[in-house]
């Protein structure tokens, strides 16, 4: 069986205008006399497969034009002997985001029964645009892509022969497992009432956020437990709203069922909390809402093209009468086996459990920073997720695939894209340095040397690129230009850019790069390659120059930026300790400065560097680390968190756009396990 020898990349014909935020369908007849068939499929940007009207699966693994990933789907449970209708639905985002690249749109598929080819994509396959989805150019977030509008009253697609898509075949099998799609998880209605529209010209998310809500007791609206509603004649209202709770942080594919007596507009908002006494559907430029135009009668809706992270749904139904039968998601999870919880103290056991859930909710096609707002792969974020995952799941296939995917995004300036395989206009150079450490740690934890061998050339290019930028001062100047985001963490003075001054220096960047050079030298030794001495020497020279330039003898600590009057940041001290840049006789003083509370503290994400720096330096900091974990993560648990937050401020951070499920916040799993911290009795 030679896969894709007969199949071609195809696309719908006669498509006018910009191919951006649009949906397409491909229809064919599949004859399966044995009742068995396996479908091999790849699509850009995403796909959903149906057989005889029954949903089979969804979910493209994003790659690059030279790395197109295909899935293998068992069709047998959906087939009848003889002729079957195969429907492949495709979504084309058409614009690069941090989650998804912009590639040539197309689909390619083959169906096989053992060694017998049953069907191959070709221009003879019928296709057409699904105009029930109306692209509205409205971003859910700029990282994830567009939200959607769907018109159930519009006609189904009309079909005609396809055309060749003009894509070369560079197809590879999926490197990880498919997500599992669970039984539907429906929300429980926790609030209901009537609403008045504020301004119908606003984006749908802002319409929901600014609508006037008037709460009603359930028996004031509903005739039965199925939420059959009828607005009283004396109530002024544009329709009924309902807020539904899924019972905890969830990932999944949106579904709902509703009856209305006539064509009706329905708005659906999603969110992680009810801090506004409603779903926070509109947050700055973010639009966490969807529009569904219902037909008269019964409406069943399922959206298989985008997975959402949420806990709450809010429905605005523009009708005086109707029945909301259900609303929720089909949960989508990466299949993992949780290792036994090693903690004995009940509080620490809970930290471990919530940390594991946080990690899993940020693992789908690759590691994600958060499922609600971005769903993006970052080197720095994923380092924390990978390290924690070694102890939570004992799993190495997923990190290997993510690290291999990341190296495919190498740019001409010797940096990796910020969010591979997506493409965004900014870049964080320090994150590329962290990638080198990720590869070393994967090699050490897994014992697998093959990944390091595969990406060795990329690592060398990265490290040589860093070395080439070290100037006569012995330091690495900040990257400049509008694309350069010299970010380290979300704290004042560590999250900004450098502008265009070519002579600005910051110690965290030098420390991250020194660490990358040292890690690369160790990878060379592990692989038995030559040249480790050169990179060890470069790392040492850079670390020594960083110490000389940034050490402030008066305070016994390190400046973040040349020109600072005194040390400001705990992370700066942590990075200098972590990279062994601090002379032995000064290390105690730096550790004290790191822990005495006078500096801007490390945010949740970067506590991993502070904790490791202290624990590597001296066992006497074990109690301090445990107590700090109890304080930071205990605050989240006390607030009812069932996944850990992006920062300690939770939803209120980032102008009320903070994530309540963020992979980098699972830090305690790694710290507790790797350093065998004492558990409270």
CA dist., res. 111 & res. 120, Å (int): 7
Helix (H, G, I), strand (E, B) or coil at 379: helix
Given a cut of 60, is residue 681 above it in pLDDT? no
Would you state the pLDDT for residue 503? 61
Share of residues in the chain with pLDDT > 90 (%): 95
Q: What angle do CA 354, 422, 666 make, to 5 degrees?
A: 15
Give the Cα separation of 653 and 421 in Å (integer).
Answer: 27
pLDDT at 4 over 80: yes
The kind and range of the H/E element at 534 are helix 532-550
Note the pLDDT of residue 233: 87
Is residue 397 within 8 A of residue 406, CB to CB? The reply is no
Residue 386: other Cβ atoms inside 10 A: 24
**pLDDT at site 226:** 84
**What angle separates helix 346-361 from helix 379-392, to the nearest 10 degrees?**
130
Number of residues written out for the chain: 681
User: Mean pLDDT score of the chain, rounded to an integer?
Assistant: 96
SS3 labels along 247-316: EEEEEEEEEEEEEECCCEEEEEEEECCCCCCCCCCEECCEECEEEEEECCEEEEEECCCCCEEEEEEEEE
Q: Is the pLDDT at 94 greater than 50, yes or no?
A: yes
Q: Is the per-residue pLDDT at 661 higher than 90?
A: yes
pLDDT digits over 381-405, tens only? 999 999 999 999 999 999 999 999 9
For 427-448, the DSSP string reads: B-HHHHHHHHHHHHHHHHHH--
Distance from CA of residue 661 to its chain's centroid? 10
Give 496's pLDDT tier (boundaries 50, 70, 90): confident
Q: What is the pLDDT of residue 205?
A: 97
User: Strand pairing partners for 189?
Assistant: 244
User: CA-based angle 154:156:159, to the nearest 5?
Assistant: 140
Name the 3-class secondary structure at 415. coil
Please work out, in degrees rounded to the nearest 5, the angle formed at the alpha carbon of residue 378 by the alpha carbons of 372 and 380.
115
Query: Is the C-alpha dihedral spanning 244, 246, 250, 254 positive or negative?
Result: negative
Express each pLDDT in 112-164 by its tens digit. Answer: 999 999 999 999 999 999 999 987 789 999 999 999 999 999 999 999 999 99
Maximum pairwise Cα distance, the chain = 84
Residue range 169-224, pLDDT digits in tens? 999 999 999 999 999 999 999 999 999 999 999 999 999 999 999 999 999 999 88
Query: φ, ψ for residue 661 (rounded to 5)?
Result: -145, 105
> Per-residue pLDDT for 680 more than 70?
no
For 340, counting Cβ atoms within 10 Å of its Cβ (0-12 exposed, 13-18 middle, 19+ buried), the class is exposed
Sign of CA dihedral 546, 550, 553, 558: negative
Alpha-carbon Rg for the chain, nearest whole angstrom, is 27
pLDDT tens-digit series, residues 17-69: 899 999 999 999 999 999 999 999 999 999 999 999 999 999 999 999 999 99
The pTM of this model reads: 0.96
Q: What is the pLDDT of residues 335-363, one digit of tens each?
A: 999 999 999 999 999 999 999 999 999 99
- The predicted pLDDT at position 498 comes to 54
Within 8 A by CB and 6+ apart from 73, the residues are 38, 39, 40, 41, 49, 56, 57
Which of 262, 268, 278 is closest to 320 using CA atoms? 262
Q: Which domains does the chain have, with CATH numbers?
A: 10-147 (2.60.120.260), 181-333 (2.60.120.260), 336-395+618-681 (no CATH), 402-601 (1.50.10.10)
**Average pLDDT rounded to a whole number, residues 4-14:** 97
Q: Per-residue pLDDT averaged across 625-641, rounded?
A: 98
């Amino acid at each position: 069986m030679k896969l894709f020898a007969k199949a071609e990349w195809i696309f719908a014909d006669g498509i006018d205008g910009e191919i951006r935020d649009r949906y397409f369908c491909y229809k064919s007849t599949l004859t399966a006399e044995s009742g068995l068939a396996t479908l091999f499929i790849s699509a850009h940007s995403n796909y959903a497969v149906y057989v005889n009207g029954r949903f089979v699966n969804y979910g493209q693994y994003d790659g690059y034009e030279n790395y197109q990933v295909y899935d293998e789907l068992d069709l047998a449970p959906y087939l009848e002997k003889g002729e079957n209708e195969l429907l492949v639905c495709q979504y084309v985002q058409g614009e690069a985001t941090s989650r998804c690249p912009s590639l040539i749109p197309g689909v390619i598929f083959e169906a096989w029964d053992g060694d017998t080819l049953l069907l191959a994509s070709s221009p003879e396959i019928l296709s057409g645009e699904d105009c029930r989805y109306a692209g509205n150019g409205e971003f859910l977030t700029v990282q994830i892509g567009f939200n959607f509008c769907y018109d159930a009253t519009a006609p189904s697609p009309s079909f005609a022969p396809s055309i060749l898509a003009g894509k070369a075949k560079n197809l590879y099998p999926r490197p990880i497992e498919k997500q599992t799609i669970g039984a539907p998880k429906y929300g429980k209605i926790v609030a209901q009432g009537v609403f008045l529209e504020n301004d119908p010209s606003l984006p749908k998310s802002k319409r929901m956020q600014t609508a006037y809500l008037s709460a009603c007791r359930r028996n004031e609206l509903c005739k039965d437990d199925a939420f059959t509603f009828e607005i009283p004649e004396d109530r002024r209202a544009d329709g009924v709203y309902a807020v539904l709770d899924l019972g905890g942080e969830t990932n999944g594919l949106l579904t709902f069922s509703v009856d209305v007596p006539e064509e009706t507009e329905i708005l659906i908002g999603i969110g992680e909390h009810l801090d506004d006494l409603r779903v926070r559907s509109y947050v700055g430029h973010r639009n966490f809402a969807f529009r569904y135009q219902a037909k008269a009668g019964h409406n069943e809706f399922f959206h298989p093209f985008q997975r959402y992270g949420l806990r709450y749904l809010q429905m605005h139904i523009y009708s005086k009468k109707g029945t909301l039968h259900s609303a929720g998601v089909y949960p989508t999870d990466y299949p993992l086996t949780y290792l036994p919880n090693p903690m004995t103290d009940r509080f620490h056991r809970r930290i471990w459990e919530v940390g594991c859930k946080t990690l899993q909710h940020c693992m789908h096609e690759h590691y994600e920073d958060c499922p609600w707002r971005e769903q993006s792969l970052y080197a720095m974020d994923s380092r924390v997720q990978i390290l924690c995952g070694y102890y939570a799941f004992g799993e190495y296939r997923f990190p290997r695939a993510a690290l291999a995917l990341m190296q495919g995004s190498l740019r001409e300036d010797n940096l990796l894209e910020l969010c591979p395989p997506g493409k965004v206009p900014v870049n964080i150079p320090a994150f590329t340095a962290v990638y080198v450490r990720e590869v070393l740690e994967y090699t050490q934890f897994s014992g697998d040397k093959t990944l390091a061998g595969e990406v060795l050339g990329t690592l060398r290019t990265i490290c040589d690129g860093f070395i080439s930028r070290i100037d006569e001062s012995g330091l690495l100047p900040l990257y400049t230009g509008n694309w350069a985001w010299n970010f380290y963490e979300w704290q004042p003075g560590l999250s900004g850019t450098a502008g265009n001054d070519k002579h600005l220096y910051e110690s965290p960047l030098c420390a991250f790069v020194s660490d990358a050079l040292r890690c690369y030298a160790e990878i060379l030794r592990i692989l038995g390659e030559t040249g480790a001495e050169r990179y060890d020497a470069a790392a040492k020279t850079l670390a020594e120059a960083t110490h000389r330039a940034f050490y402030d003898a008066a305070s016994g600590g390190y400046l973040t930026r040349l020109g600072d009057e005194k040390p400001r940041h705990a992370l700066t001290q942590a990075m200098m300790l972590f990279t062994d840049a601090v002379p032995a006789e000064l290390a105690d003083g730096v550790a004290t400065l790191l822990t005495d509370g006078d500096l801007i503290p490390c945010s949740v994400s970067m506590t991993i560097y502070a904790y490791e720096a202290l624990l590597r330096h001296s066992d006497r900091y074990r109690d301090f680390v445990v107590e700090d974990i109890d304080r930071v993560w205990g605050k989240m648990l006390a607030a009812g968190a069932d996944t850990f937050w992006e920062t300690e401020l939770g939803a209120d951070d980032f102008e009320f756009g903070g994530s309540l499920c963020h992979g980098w916040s699972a830090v305690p799993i790694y710290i507790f396990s790797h350093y065998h911290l004492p558990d409270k009795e």
